[in-house]
Amino acid sequence: MEINPLWFFLLLILFVFLGHPLAYVLGAIGLFFGLFFWERDFSSIVYWRFWEMAQSYIWVCVPLFIFMGYMLEKSGVADRLYRAVHVSLGGIRGGLAVATIIISAVLATTIGVIGASVTTVGVVSLNPMLRRGYDKRLVAGTILAGGGLGIIIPPSILLILYANWAGVSLGRMFMAAFIPGLVLAALYSIYILIRCRLNPELGPSVPAEERAVSVGKKILLLSSSLLPVLILIFAVLGTIFFGIATPTESAAFGALGSMLIAAANRKLTWSAFFQSCYNTARASGVIFLIAAAALIFNTAFVVVGATDVLHTTILGLGLGPWGLLVLMMVVIFILGCFMDWIPILLIVIPIIVAVATKAGFDPIWLGTIICINLQIGYMTPPFAPSLFYLKAIAPPEMAMSDILWSTLPFVALMALGLAIVMLFPQLALWLPNLVFGHY
């Protein structure tokens, strides 16, 4: 018996908008259709799919990378990095904003949780920029865009879940997202420099007396603050790059490395450790609960024939491969305005990857552009969780309207970055093919 897929999504949207928890809605809808509209034993197939998911070592990466991010948030490493880059770039108009983007890109390689990334970057850079006369909207947009890099630059939790559910190599996925993430950071930096060049009042240079530091002192500041982070980046990404460790083992190295950095900065207290463990358990529990519910939903979607109906409908639109891809991106963008990335990812991956693969698109490249698209959702209302993360740490004079307006140019830059990676797939595929070879 084939069920129209619209029934799944209509019920999902209805109950989510009624305020019911997403995990319970996904699981309940999946059980309803699976138990009542499939002639065979639905519970047994769900059991075996749960068992298959539990057997995947990739899931071990999730709490390890989350812990690494929260521990680094407590370690003070972001503050040291910001002070070092601030001395080097403060003389440039908009230099502190560019420094914020650079620090965000560096931290993104160690903090795979966007909430922790936005909060950490905001805490160390928000007040210093405001005190030096930076425009409130430029400050807010810079922090939101920079913090959002944590969702695309590895070791993003999003990349881990995509690789697991799409059945692709996590190592390849990490390598594929690295250059597109740097492209986004470059676009943000170029935009900030041009705007501040045209209108110096938006981002004035830091007074000379504040940056009156010798070249040797600048080098010492940069090296002493960057070296621990670079070692941690090698422990996480370099070990995968050179085939020294699996992604799961590199996640363990990263978790240990974050504790050593916190200890070196004298921030490794019992309070910081237990708070990091608590936040890790809470975030991991939410992810695993939604993943389990999405597994029930997706299993029911497949067994009642909704996937076949949707594939036939989409492929029958006659849009051609690129028309289908644009349609998929539009759908993901709309969903991102109303839902968190986890359920979107887990619901649409089985559908979109199957359709896109039939259309001849590379699943690694596809995952990269999906991740960029989902990053936009963190800044587009009404959902837009990054805006609320920033508002929670912003001073009273930065109104929510300022934060909302600040997102417009950076959302446009994200869309431009998405278009660039779509038009030039080798930006995503060159590095994994270089490291792991063609497949």
pLDDT at 212: 65
Inter-helix orientation angle 270-303/58-75, to 10°: 150
Task: Using the predicted structure, report yes or no on whether residue 1 has a pLDDT greater than 60.
Answer: no
pLDDT at 13: 78
Please tell me the distance from the alpha carbon of residue 419 to that of residue 184, in angstroms, as a whole number: 11
Tell me how far apart the terminal alpha carbons of the chain are, to the nearest angstrom: 37
Helix, strand, coil % in the chain, rounded to nearest 5: 80, 0, 20
Q: Which of 353, 429, 437, 357 is nearest to 163 (CA)?
A: 353
The pLDDT mean for the chain works out to 85
pLDDT at 346: 73
Task: Using the predicted structure, report yes or no on whether residue 273 has a pLDDT greater than 90.
Answer: yes
Cα distances (Å, whole numbers) of residue 290 to 100, 205, 365: 33, 46, 25
Please tell me the distance from the alpha carbon of residue 140 to that of residue 394, in angstroms, as a whole number: 9
Q: Which residue reads 């979107």 in tokens? A: 344
Look at 291 and 147; give whichever has higher pLDDT.
147
Task: Using the predicted structure, report yes or no on whether residue 167 has a pLDDT greater than 90.
Answer: no
Burial class from Cβ neighbours inside 10 Å (0-12, 13-18, 19+) for residue 154 reads: buried
pLDDT at 177: 94
Task: Using the predicted structure, report yes or no on whether residue 368 has a pLDDT greater than 90.
Answer: yes
pLDDT at 2: 65
- The one-letter amino acid code at 118 reads V
Q: Which of 291, 268, 298 is nearest to 73 (CA)?
A: 268
Q: What is the mean pLDDT of residues 184-206?
A: 94
CB 119 within 8 A of CB 126: no
Q: Which residue reads 């905001």 in tokens? A: 122
- Which strand (E) or helix (H) includes residue 73? helix 58-75
Highest mean pLDDT among 6-20, 78-92, 398-412: 398-412
pLDDT, tens only, 21-57 = 878 888 888 888 888 888 777 888 788 777 877 777 7
- Residues, the chain: 439
pLDDT at 34: 86
Q: What is the DSSP letter of 40?
A: S
Domain ranges of the chain: 5-436
What does pTM read for this prediction? 0.86
Task: Using the predicted structure, report yes or no on whether residue 438 has a pLDDT greater than 80.
Answer: no
pLDDT at 213: 66
Q: Could you tell me the sign of the dihedral formed by the alpha carbons of 32, 34, 37, 39, in that order?
A: negative
CB 362 within 8 A of CB 425: yes
Task: Using the predicted structure, report yes or no on whether residue 411 has a pLDDT greater than 80.
Answer: yes
Task: Using the predicted structure, report yes or no on whether residue 265 has a pLDDT greater than 80.
Answer: yes
pLDDT at 182: 95
Burial class from Cβ neighbours inside 10 Å (0-12, 13-18, 19+) for residue 133 reads: exposed
Percentage of residues of the chain with pLDDT beyond 90: 26
* Cα–chain center distance at 318: 33
Percentage of residues of the chain with pLDDT beyond 70: 97
- Which strand (E) or helix (H) includes residue 119? helix 114-131
pLDDT at 439: 64
Q: How would residue 277 be classed by pLDDT, with cut points 50, 70 and 90? A: very high
Task: Using the predicted structure, report yes or no on whether residue 4 has a pLDDT greater than 80.
Answer: no
Q: What is the mean pLDDT of residues 402-421?
A: 95
Q: What is the mean pLDDT of residues 411-434?
A: 95
Q: What is the DSSP letter of 242?
A: T
pLDDT at 138: 96
Q: Which residue reads 């001395």 in tokens? A: 87
pLDDT at 263: 92
pLDDT, tens only, 205-240 = 877 766 666 667 767 777 777 788 888 888 888 887
Looking from the CA of 154 toward its CB, the CA atoms found within 13 Å total 33
